[in-house]
Chains A and B, each alone.
Chain A
Amino acid sequence: MDAVLELRDVSKHYPEHRAVNGVSLSLARGEFFSLLGPSGCGKTTTLRLIAGFEEPTRGEIRLNGCAIHHLKPYQRNVSTVFQNYALFPHLTVRQNVEFGLRRRAENHMAQKVGEVLDLVRLTGKEARYPSGISGGERQRVALARSLVLAPDLLLLDEPLSALDPNLRKEVRAELKAIQRRVGITFLFVTHDQEEALAMSDRLGVMNAGALEQVGKPEEVYLRPQTRFVAAFLGALNWIQGVGVRPEATRISKRASQGCPATVEQSTFLGNCVRVAVRLSNGELATAEISRLEESFAPGDQVNLSWRPEDELRFE
Chain B
Amino acid sequence: MKRLRAWFLAPTWVTMLALFAAPLLIICAYSLETRGVYGGVSLPWTIESYQRLADPIYLAILWRSFWIAGISTVLCLLLGFPLALFISRSGRRKHLYLSLVILPFWTSFLVRTYAWMFLLRDTGLINAALQALGLIHDPIPLLYNDGAVILGLVYGYLPFTVLPLYATLERLDSSLIEAAADLGARPLTVLGRVIVPLCAPAIRAGAILVFIPCLGTYLTSDLLGGGKSVMIGNLIQNQFTTARDWPFGSAISLTLMAMVLALLIAFVRRDREGLL
Q: Is A178 on the interface with B (CB-CB < 8 A)?
A: no
**With a CB–CB cut-off of 8 A, which chain A residues contact B274?**
90
Considering the chains assembled together, what is the distance between the CA atoms of A79 and B183 in angstroms?
7
Q: Do A149 and B175 touch (CB < 8 A)? A: no
**With a CB–CB cut-off of 8 A, which chain B residues contact A82?**
175, 178-179
Main secondary structure of the interface of B (DSSP, over half): helix
Q: Smallest CB–CB gap between A152 and chain B, Å?
A: 13
For B175, B184, B185, B186, the residue with the greatest tally of chain A CB atoms inside 10 Å of its CB is B184
Q: Is A135 on the interface with B (CB-CB < 8 A)?
A: no
Q: Is B207 on the interface with A (CB-CB < 8 A)?
A: no
Q: Is B176 on the interface with A (CB-CB < 8 A)?
A: yes
Considering the chains assembled together, what is the distance between the CA atoms of A205 and B11 in angstroms?
66
**With a CB–CB cut-off of 8 A, which chain B residues contact A79?**
182-183
Q: Do B183 and A51 touch (CB < 8 A)? A: no
Of A52, A80, A90, A149, the residue contacting B179 (CB under 8 A) is A80
Q: Do A90 and B184 touch (CB < 8 A)? A: no
Considering the chains assembled together, what is the distance between the CA atoms of A129 and B221 in angstroms?
46
Q: Do A90 and B197 touch (CB < 8 A)? A: yes
Q: Do B198 and A90 touch (CB < 8 A)? A: yes
Q: Do B183 and A72 touch (CB < 8 A)? A: no
Q: Do B194 and A100 touch (CB < 8 A)? A: no
Q: Do A99 and B181 touch (CB < 8 A)? A: no
Of A52, A103, A149, the residue contacting B189 (CB under 8 A) is A103
Considering the chains assembled together, what is the distance between the CA atoms of A74 and B181 in angstroms?
5
Given contacts A53-B178, A86-B178, A88-B194, contact A74 B184 (CB under 8 A): yes
Give the residues from 51 to 95 in chain A that come closer than 8 angstroms, CB to CB, to chain B: 51-53, 72-74, 78-80, 82-84, 86-90
Q: Do A149 and B183 touch (CB < 8 A)? A: yes
Of A72, A84, A99, A145, the residue contacting B173 (CB under 8 A) is A84
Interface string of A85-121 (1 = CB under 8 A from B): 0111110000000011001100000000000000000
- Give the number of residues in B that approach A within 8 Å (Cβ atoms): 19
Give the residues from 39 to 61 in chain B that come closer than 8 angstroms, CB to CB, to chain A: none
Q: Do A74 and B176 touch (CB < 8 A)? A: no
Considering the chains assembled together, what is the distance between the CA atoms of A237 and B186 in angstroms?
53
Q: Smallest CB–CB gap between B67 and chain A, Å?
A: 31
Q: Is B180 on the interface with A (CB-CB < 8 A)?
A: yes
Of A53, A83, A87, A149, the residue contacting B184 (CB under 8 A) is A149
Chain A interface size, as a band, is 20 to 34
Q: Do B186 and A73 touch (CB < 8 A)? A: no
Given contacts A84-B175, A86-B173, A90-B197, contact A103 B183 (CB under 8 A): yes
Q: Do B175 and A100 touch (CB < 8 A)? A: no
Q: Smallest CB–CB gap between A122 and chain B, Å?
A: 17
Considering the chains assembled together, what is the distance between the CA atoms of A73 and B185 in angstroms?
9
**With a CB–CB cut-off of 8 A, which chain A residues contact B178?**
51, 53, 73, 80, 82, 86
Considering the chains assembled together, what is the distance between the CA atoms of A104 and B184 in angstroms?
7
Q: Smallest CB–CB gap between A57 and chain B, Å?
A: 20
Q: Smallest CB–CB gap between B57 and chain A, Å?
A: 45
Give the residues from 7 to 55 in chain A that come closer than 8 angstroms, CB to CB, to chain B: 51-53
Q: Which residue of A lies closest to B198 (CB)?
A: A90
Q: Which residue of A lies closest to B194 (CB)?
A: A88
Considering the chains assembled together, what is the distance between the CA atoms of A145 and B182 in angstroms?
11
Q: Do A103 and B185 touch (CB < 8 A)? A: yes
Q: Do A99 and B180 touch (CB < 8 A)? A: yes
Q: Which residue of A lies closest to B200 (CB)?
A: A90
Q: Smallest CB–CB gap between B256 and chain A, Å?
A: 34
Q: Do B182 and A80 touch (CB < 8 A)? A: yes
Of B176, B181, B193, the residue contacting A72 (CB under 8 A) is B181
**With a CB–CB cut-off of 8 A, which chain B residues contact A83?**
175
Q: Which residue of B lies closest to A97 (CB)?
A: B183
Q: Smallest CB–CB gap between A83 and chain B, Å?
A: 8
**With a CB–CB cut-off of 8 A, which chain B residues contact A149?**
183-184
Q: Smallest CB–CB gap between A52 and chain B, Å?
A: 8
Q: Which 9 A-B pairs have the closest CB atoms?
A: A100-B183, A103-B184, A86-B179, A86-B175, A73-B181, A90-B197, A80-B182, A74-B184, A74-B181
Q: Which residues of A contact B (CB under 8 A)?
A: 51-53, 72-74, 78-80, 82-84, 86-90, 99-100, 103-104, 145-146, 149
Would you give 27 A-B contacts (Cβ < 8 Å), ordered by A? A51-B178, A52-B181, A52-B182, A53-B181, A73-B182, A74-B181, A74-B182, A74-B185, A78-B182, A80-B179, A82-B175, A82-B179, A84-B173, A84-B175, A86-B175, A87-B179, A88-B176, A88-B179, A88-B194, A89-B198, A90-B197, A90-B200, A90-B274, A99-B183, A99-B193, A103-B186, A149-B184
